[in-house]
Structure 1
């Protein structure tokens, strides 16, 4: 009996040591990733946006990008793609994009050429399309455990009761522990309290005319509102994505132009012709 008790104590001690070793290995891996990304922060390249973050935009955290209207999901997805490309310039891992099945009914699917325009190599993208929301939440949790990834995106529709503060806190902790950029992409719905470090509301904005192409449409423009910022102030801007240099640019208020007129389309409704009244046939 005494030998069995000693053996059990030894096994318990070995388990405790192995847990400490795994924790130290995870911490070392996280510190290495932080060093690769200049301290775990990034810059937008827009002075007015960078100024609202005290120590830089936090990469290894949970963030939220949302659009109030479902029709703006393309604008929100484009902003998120540019954000991932800017934050992950030195990371070569895959990007796991978990999509709630309800999103595909209204928002469609990602277009590879569109992602390339926003600076993301489509071959790095791994799309996960579960059959229900519960499985989608499980898949995002499992993906956030993988420290070799570049980013994890969890796209949901509206406000899901199962995706509460506890669920978002789990994602935040895993993002910090594993050195990951994790983002909630909310398609429609209202703003709600969660554990995200930042929350951005994105909408489509009118693009200016293309100065190099007659009757062409210029750079993609977005209306951007920083609704929540745990480490600084909030703000509102109009920005555009420059696909030539793969970066965001600020559009001053006095440069927000009206959209270019449609090509070969009359400016108003055509004038009606002569109206004649006929007697009703008996």
Structure 2
């Protein structure tokens, strides 16, 4: 055997046994820097949204995290508390495909109650070879306390898997998660324009980070490269002024607009 062939064979062996990096960069440089190089593997994370109307945005962001961690391979077990579907419905396969995720990878588990959902998620995190385990819940149920989240974290650390709690209509609360992300939907096109929707876009707040530092950014998802990118800040006032056209004078004999009739709030958080 020639020396070059021997070197090539040895190089292949080294690559096959090389340790997988314990972090996966998201692609957005500032975010990756705060995370110490990327999102840590083998850990529990949390994504939440305050309002049920934003669960699609939060789910899309979470799918992006899964894609970055596992490079479009492996099964994703998605366990949904039945209360979540009453408020927000279920996952839409065509929508997942549009952002670059293969719906065939999804194993959607629909238990009959929250206790069974917690059990199913705990069992799934024990399995090796899965790309991710997602536990979708509504609000801040007492069953999912610090002890329960610590157990999920330990399971993920033991098996090197990615586990994530997806909370809809939820407030921030203490948990064992390595990171907590608060996700809000953002317009993919400047306000007041007639542009067609472009890349999915979110306003993301890193509320908890075991690396120490937190922050807030506008992020977009590149579905072709499957990477997060920093999105330019939305200048709603400028865009509105540039595209609104001439305005009518306010009437002199009556109010210029309808009085505010209340505030849009999320459904009551589960307990």
Counterpart residue number, 2:175: 194
Separation in 2, partners of 1:217, 1:180: 34
CA RMSD of aligned residues (A): 2.7
Does the 8 A contact of 1:208 with 1:258 survive in 2?
no
| SS of residue matched to 1:51 | helix
Question: Residues 60, 147 of structure 1: CA spacing in aligned structure 2 closer, same or farther, 3 A cutoff?
Answer: same
Separation in 1, partners of 2:246, 2:144: 47
Counterpart residue number, 1:239: 219
Counterpart residue number, 1:136: 117
**Which deviates the most, 49-58 or 165-174?**
49-58
Counterpart residue number, 1:174: 155
Counterpart residue number, 2:203: 223
Q: 1:39 aligns with which of 11, 21, 27?
A: 21
TM-score scaled to structure 1, two decimals? Answer: 0.75
For structure 2, the 5+ residue unaligned runs are: 1-15, 249-271
Cα offsets for 1:209-263 (capped at 9, x unmatched) = 5xxxx7412222100000000123100000111223222110133xx144999xx
Does the 8 A contact of 2:189 with 2:196 survive in 1?
no
Residues 1:249 and 2:241 are matched in the alignment: no
Give matches, 1:62-211, under 5 Å. 62-89=44-71, 92-208=73-189
| SS of residue matched to 2:126 | coil
- After TM superposition, what 4+ stretches of structure 1 lie above 6 angstroms from structure 2? 266-269
Separation in 2, partners of 1:219, 1:156: 27
Counterpart residue number, 1:49: 31
Counterpart residue number, 2:269: none
- Residue 34 of structure 1 deviates from its aligned partner by 8.7
- Residue 202 of structure 1 deviates from its aligned partner by 0.0
Question: Residues 267, 76 of structure 1: CA spacing in aligned structure 2 closer, same or farther, 3 A cutoff?
Answer: farther
- Residue 55 of structure 1 deviates from its aligned partner by 4.6
- Residue 117 of structure 1 deviates from its aligned partner by 2.5
Separation in 2, partners of 1:230, 1:82: 21
Does the 8 A contact of 1:66 with 1:76 survive in 2?
yes
For structure 1, the 5+ residue unaligned runs are: 1-31, 270-282
Does the 8 A contact of 1:54 with 1:232 survive in 2?
no
Question: Residues 195, 122 of structure 1: CA spacing in aligned structure 2 closer, same or farther, 3 A cutoff?
Answer: same
Separation in 1, partners of 2:134, 2:31: 22
Does the 8 A contact of 2:131 with 2:162 survive in 1?
yes
Counterpart residue number, 1:16: none
Cα offsets for 1:125-180 (capped at 9, x unmatched) = 00000000000000000101101211100000000001111110110001010110
Residues 1:58 and 2:58 are matched in the alignment: no
| SS of residue matched to 2:206 | strand
Give matches, 1:4-15, under 5 Å. none
| SS of residue matched to 2:87 | helix
Does the 8 A contact of 1:206 with 1:258 survive in 2?
no
In our comparison, the structure showing a higher alpha carbon Rg is: 1
Cα offsets for 1:73-98 (capped at 9, x unmatched) = 000000000110111116x3210000
